[in-house]
Amino acid sequence: MTASKPSSRSFQPVSAFDSPRYAGAATFMRLPLLGLDASDIDAVDIGIVGVPWDGGTTNRPGTRHGPRQLRDLSTMLRPIHPATGMNPYTICNVADLGDSPVNPADVMDALTRITGFYAGLKARGITPLSAGGDHLMSYPILKALAADGPVGMIHFDAHTDLFDDYFGGFKYTHGTPFRRAIEEGYLDPKRVVQIGIRGTMYDGSDVAWGLEQGVRIIRIEEFEERGVDDVMAEARAIVGDLPTYVTFDIDSLDPSVAPGTGTPEVGGFSTREAQRMVRKLAGLNLIGADLVEVSPPFDPAGGTAWVGISMMFELLCVLAASPATRKSA
């Protein structure tokens, strides 16, 4: 294992032994909050970023409020992974980098702003872990991270997000991000795996198009029949050791455990299954990850955000172990 970037600053979370979890300003995982102009920004290995935006939502809005609630609930997390014993903060320098700039009044301008922000992270060698926000936000992130060539993706979701357009030609919604990313050369479709797809359908054109491009679509029924180990072994084989992005839509989980989302679908993953799947990503060449579609207005008590931030911690741990994240001092 190589060392993280050198820094004289402590990037450790505030301990609940030193300050109660409910005290102080909320930051992701109680980590230091840094701006991109901070003197030690280049020491950051993994930057946790909020994308408070739901301009791509076509039905129930509210995910623009997700990052704030996720930050608040993240104060409950302790630093050591219960199954692996990993402390990601001793492996990498991790910081809360605030929120990406967005524009709630203009979709295309928001996409440009988000792309520019993540291009800045890429230029600094910072691996992003992002909190959304609706799923369209993954498109500008991929546009920035895959500027040098297409990457693979492991995608946990109830929906393919491979539709062509909505409302007579509108190309950029939370139902279209990965079709755009494939068409524009940011994703290699033959290295894209979608796991958990389910729910009633419009016409199946999204699935048909994805299969034509070579996307591996694993519906929930196949997942249920084969189980976590077999499915994730296939996913790992498909993406191989080349650069890979991970995107986790909270609606991949069953709405009994994650009701606070815009497009819930019954029959989803349990939290235990989701944890096991993300842990199976360890060792892959991961260039970033996101957790999207947490909508606090549909779960004000924060149960969905607690599930979401717990999955973000799982993602943080596999990012910390990725060869793409660890850098020589």
Per-residue pLDDT tens over the stretch 54-82: 999 999 999 999 999 999 999 999 999 99
Q: What is the pLDDT of residue 329?
A: 36
Cα distances (Å, whole numbers) of residue 30 to 21, 40, 291 = 8, 18, 18
- Does pLDDT of 243 surpass 50? yes
- 6 band by pLDDT with thresholds 50, 70 and 90: low
- Does pLDDT of 181 surpass 90? yes
What DSSP state is assigned to residue 194? E
Q: Going from the N-terminus, what domains does the chain have, and what CATH number goes with each?
A: 28-321 (3.40.800.10)
- Does pLDDT of 3 surpass 60? no
Cα-to-chain-centroid distance, residue 183: 21
Cα-to-chain-centroid distance, residue 90: 22
Q: What is the pLDDT of residue 325?
A: 81
251 is in an annotated binding site: yes
- 8 band by pLDDT with thresholds 50, 70 and 90: low
- 326 band by pLDDT with thresholds 50, 70 and 90: low
Q: In whole angstroms, give the CA distance from residue 160 to residue 93.
A: 33
Q: What is the pLDDT of residue 1?
A: 40
- Does pLDDT of 136 surpass 60? yes
- Does pLDDT of 163 surpass 50? yes
135 is in an annotated binding site: yes
Nearest in space to 325 (alpha carbons), one of 100, 70, 86, 129: 129
Tokens of 325: 């994240």
How high does pLDDT run on average in the chain? 95
165 is in an annotated binding site: no
Phi then psi for 177, rounded to 5 degrees? -60, -35
**pTM for the predicted model, two decimal places:** 0.96
Q: What is the mean pLDDT of residues 182-191?
A: 98
Q: What is the pLDDT of residue 2?
A: 47
- 101 band by pLDDT with thresholds 50, 70 and 90: very high
- Does pLDDT of 20 surpass 50? yes
Nearest in space to 267 (alpha carbons), one of 193, 156, 158: 158
Q: What is the pLDDT of residues 246-271, one digit of tens each?
A: 999 999 999 999 999 999 999 999 99
Residue 311 carries which side chain, given as an amino acid letter?
Answer: M
Query: Looking at per-residue confidence, does 248 or 5 come out higher?
Result: 248
260, 295 Cβ separation under 8 angstroms:
yes
Query: By percentage, how much of the chain surpasses pLDDT 90?
Result: 94
Q: In whole angstroms, give the CA distance from residue 99 to residue 15.
A: 23
229 is in an annotated binding site: no
45 is in an annotated binding site: no
65 is in an annotated binding site: no
102, 50 Cβ separation under 8 angstroms:
no
Q: What is the mean pLDDT of residues 89-110?
A: 97
- Does pLDDT of 231 surpass 70? yes
3-state secondary structure of 269: strand
